Amino acid sequence: MTVDLEGPEPLYEQIADELGRRIAEGVYAPRRRVPSEAAICDEFGVSRPTARAAIQLLGRRGLIVTVRGKGSFVTEQSPSE
């Protein structure tokens, strides 16, 4: 997936939507780690603050939980269940 720099949606939302799609499709299974900020930066070609904002948005959506010093992990159940 490439981010649309000219699109109306902020980059961090585009990235969060893509990662959320991957979670919904089972690419990232429950209790498994999602990519780190550095990995998101590399994959999507964005800055660390943008990657961090995407991860924080996924947390607010209830899709992941972040454990300081450990990483971010997919929650056991999605909010729609």
- Mean per-residue pLDDT of the chain: 92
Residue 3's pLDDT band, with cuts at 50, 70 and 90, is confident
Instruction: Quote the CA–CA distance of 77 and 41 in Å, as a whole number.
Output: 27
The reported pTM is 0.88
Ordered by start, the domain boundaries in the chain are 11-74
Residue 1's pLDDT band, with cuts at 50, 70 and 90, is confident
Residue 79's pLDDT band, with cuts at 50, 70 and 90, is low
Query: H-type helices in 25-71, by residue range?
Result: 37-44, 48-60
> What is 11-74's CATH topology?
Arc Repressor Mutant, subunit A (1.10.10)
pLDDT of amino acid 45:
94
Neighbours of 68 (CB within 10 A): 5
**Which is nearest to 66 in space by CA: 21, 28, 25, 36?**
36
